[in-house]
Structures are given as structure tokens and as C-alpha cells.
Amino acid sequence: MKTVLLVVMILFLCVPSVHASKEGALALSSFFLESKGIGSSGPVLVSGEQDDTGILSMRVEAFGQTYLVPAELLAGLSGTTANGIRLVYCGGMGNISASVYVIFSFGFTSREIQTTALIFGEDGSIEIKHEEHTQ
């Protein structure tokens, strides 16, 4: 009995304690994405900068046009911090123009917390959509 107790105590002393790793989001400081494009988008180039307050500047080339996101739209991105970006094309239909979506996301390995989409229309329009994700 003493031998069993001694072995159990030695095992407890030899087994390292378990600690969960700490995960932190690595926010982007600047970004540059390039795609050959599909449909009517033509080549797509996206560049910009962000800091802790949000996205500071952004330029998009698509549909043969250059879009400089104006200050008033950038103000709508205040507080948006991204650590991921996706590019998506949606073809137009009827009176809806084709669009390129630049989707900023913030999240961790386990889940996405927030996404913000800037939608650049073939007609020259720029629109913002925010979405918060809850568990």
C-alpha cells in the first residue's frame, strides 16, 4: 500500500501542471492585396493603413477605377481593427451593379468577433456594413 501511495505521489510531482496558452490578435498595421479579378472586376488592388483607432487610409482599384475612401467614410470605420481581410466579387443583376467586397475581420483561432465590409460598386459607389458576431 505504501509503495502504491509513493508511486502516485511521484507521478503527481512529475506531471507538469497544465496551463492554457494565451491568445492575442495581431492587428494589421498596413495591408496590400492583389487579385487578378473575375467577371467585370478586372484586376483588384487594395491598400491601406490602420492603427489602434481604426482604418486610417484605404485605396482600391477595381472595375478600371480608383476608389479613395473619403474621410467621412473612414470616420465610420473608427474602432474597426482588423487582423484579417477577404476579397469577394458579386456580379451585378438588372439595375444592381457588380461589386467588390473588401471584408475586414477581427477574431481569434476559435471564432470571429467582428466583420466590416466595404462594398465598392462598379457604378462608383462605396458602402459600409458592420456586423458583430456573438456566440
CA gap 105, 112 in Å, rounded: 7
DSSP state of 106: E
Instruction: Delimit the domains of the chain by residue range.
Output: 24-132
What is the reported pLDDT for 119? 95
Which residue ranges in the chain fall short of pLDDT 50? none
Is the Cβ–Cβ distance between 44 and 62 less than 8 Å?
yes
Mean pLDDT, the chain, whole residue set = 85
Grid coordinates representing 29 are: 498595421
pTM of the model: 0.78
What is the reported pLDDT for 112? 75
